[in-house]
Structure formats: C-alpha cells, structure tokens
Amino acid sequence: MYLLQVSNMLLNTIKNIKVILGSQSPRRKELLASLDIDFDVVVKSIDESIPSSVPPAQAAEYIALQKLAVFKDNVTQDTLVITADTVVVDEDGNTLGKPASPEEAVEVLQSLSGQTHTVYTGVALSYKGQSQSFTEETRVHFEKLHTDEIDYYVQKYKPLDKAGAYGIQEWIGRIAVKSIEGSYENVMGLPTVRLYQEIKELIK
C-alpha cells in the first residue's frame, strides 16, 4: 500500500509540473506522450558538431547536454527540461548521422546491410537547478538487403531526418531488423523505460 501511495505521488508530481521537450523529432514526441506526460515542444538551435576528442559512444549525450545548456537561462527552475540526441555507430566505429541526400541514405543503408550496428541515444534533464544525463545503447542486427529494397525504402520513406538513414518503426524495420539487444524505443530516439526512472529520481 505504501509503495502504491508513493507511486501515485510521483505520477501526480509529474503531471503537475511544466515539462519541455527540446526536440522536434516526431518519434520523441510520440514516445514521451506515451508516458502520459503533458509537455510543450521548444526547439533551440545549437552547434551540433562533435569534437574529435568525444568518443562515438558519448557523442549523443554530448549533444543532448549542449541542447540542454541553451535552456539554462530561459526557463523557470520548476520546469522539467528534456533533451536528447541519437547517433548510429557502425562496426568500424564510424558515426552515421542524418544523411544529407537520398544518395547518401542509400550508401548508409548499404553499409548497414547484413551487419550489426549500435544505436546510442543520449538524454539530458534539468529540474530545480539539478541536471543529469545518461546514454542508452542498443545493438541492432540487420539482414542482408537487396539494392532494390534499399532504393524502395529511401524513395518512399525519405529517411533524411533519421540518424543511420532508417526508422526501425517503418517498413525497413519489419523486413531488415533480425534482432536487437536492448531497448526498441531507444532505436526510435527515446529510451522510455530508463527516461521514466530518471525523471522519478530527479523530481522526488
């Protein structure tokens, strides 16, 4: 009974505070909404270049923290701010961001075909003068893709807004993702289970 009361208090607290999602990603908006959290979307431009000293596995969290920093002087302390970034890293350690063109998207998917890659989503949060951040990792195993399948996907789904040039929730995820190790939502761009636990820890 006590645990239920504590849980209800936390849920009520989350529902009664102002929440800002610093991302325009439709997937992140969908995933955060699925936690039954009301929020506003506020997007601020930052320099998303990554210093060479930052390892690929830490790049997403680095960018998430840069996104969070621009909110520091622009929101009240009792506002919960959530920012995130996702990067895809291939087996050779190359970071695969959002493709600049359909041709580049085809090249990226050709490099992922039949291989295993890692998706890192970095998340940063701030509330009442405190901030914390984390990185969630998911390994994704791709089946071998035919050139026609890659061309079809790129032409129909136009994945230029997606790190790694694909959305796991789309057609290509149904035909190419053989298995994953880790969070499915993390590949979409927001690891909801870990995020919810981090929010509870931050606002309690």
The owner of tokens 């087996």 is 91
Note the helical H segments in 35-116.
56-69, 102-112
Q: What is the DSSP string of 29-43?
A: HHHHHTTT---EE--
Average the pLDDT over 43-48 and give the result: 90
pLDDT, one tens digit per residue, over 108-139 is 999 999 999 999 999 999 999 899 999 999 99
Question: Which two three-digit tokens encode residue 203?
Answer: 């606002």
In DSSP terms, 19 is beta-bridged to 80
Catalytic status, residue 73: no
Detail the DSSP E strand segments found in the chain.
18-21, 40-41, 79-89, 95-96, 116-127, 130-142, 177-181
Instruction: Please report, in angstroms and rounded to a whole number, the separation of the first and last CA atoms in the chain.
Output: 18
Backbone CA torsion sign across 174, 176, 179, 184 = negative
Q: For the whole model, what pTM was predicted? A: 0.91
Percent of all residues in the chain with a pLDDT value above 90, rounded to a whole number: 85
Checking if the pLDDT of 7 tops 70, the result is no
At residue 77 the predicted structure's pLDDT band, cuts being 50, 70 and 90, is: confident
Q: What is the mean pLDDT of the chain?
A: 93
Quote the pLDDT of residue 14. 76
Q: Residues 36, 47, 78, 85: which is the catalytic one?
A: 85
Record: fold of 10-203: Maf protein (3.90.950)
Average the pLDDT over 6-19 and give the result: 73
Average the pLDDT over 69-94 and give the result: 92
Quote the pLDDT of residue 117. 98
Quote the pLDDT of residue 28. 98
At residue 9 the predicted structure's pLDDT band, cuts being 50, 70 and 90, is: low
Quote the pLDDT of residue 3. 44
pLDDT, one tens digit per residue, over 147-172 is 999 999 999 999 999 999 999 999 99
At residue 72 the predicted structure's pLDDT band, cuts being 50, 70 and 90, is: confident
All structural domains of the chain with their residue ranges: 10-203
Range of weakest confidence among 69-83, 120-134, 180-194? 69-83
CB 117, CB 92: distance < 8 Å = no
Determine if residue 36 is left, alpha or beta; phi over 0 gives left, psi from -120 to 50 gives alpha, anything else beta: left
Checking if the pLDDT of 184 tops 60, the result is yes
